[in-house]
Amino acid sequence: MNKFETTLHNICKVFVTIFKDIERVAVIAEPFVDIAFPQLAPLYNAGANGAGAAICAANKVYVPTATDSENLVAIAVAVEPILQQFATASGLTTPTTGTVMAYAQALQQSVKAAQPAPAA
């Protein structure tokens, strides 16, 4: 894993671990960001909601007993429309298949790492 992928993995792991209910956190934070940083609010709101939606989607389709390849494909399919929606809302270019797969892989590794340890 390169430095960028490691950083993305660590960020996703923090989101997955701390913000398991990210949608509620993002909704609670939105008014504060809207008031304190009105210029950043649209990007924050889109980013927080997009990240939360992607993490929730990854958690919903992740199957601990499935292979890494199966989970990667399931997560990629689940998050692609979310990434496209975020890109459109933010005025960014549509993510490439490679970008979607890299993001899905980072999410997969983070979701997998956040899974409870198997019972001994």
pLDDT given for residue 19 in this prediction: 53
pLDDT given for residue 24 in this prediction: 63
Concatenate the DSSP letters of all residues of 4-25 into one string.
HHHHHHHHHHHHHHH-TTHHHH
pLDDT given for residue 86 in this prediction: 83
Q: Tell me the average confidence (pLDDT) per consecutive run of 10 residues in the chain, 120 residues long.
A: 60 58 64 80 76 87 93 94 86 87 88 74
- Domain spans in the chain, listed from the N-terminal domain onward: 3-114
pLDDT given for residue 26 in this prediction: 63
User: How far apart, in whole angstroms, are the C-alpha atoms of residue 33 and residue 77?
Assistant: 31
pLDDT given for residue 120 in this prediction: 60
> Measured between alpha carbons, how far apart are the two ends of the chain, in Å?
30
pLDDT given for residue 63 in this prediction: 93
User: How far apart, in whole angstroms, are the C-alpha atoms of residue 91 and residue 76?
Assistant: 21
Concatenate the DSSP letters of all residues of the chain into one string.
--HHHHHHHHHHHHHHHH-TTHHHHHHHHHHHHHHH-TTTHHHHHHHHHHHHHHHHHHHHH--TTS-HHHHHHHHHHHHHHHHHHHHHHHTPPPPPHHHHHHHHHHHHHHHHHHSPPPP-
pLDDT given for residue 60 in this prediction: 93
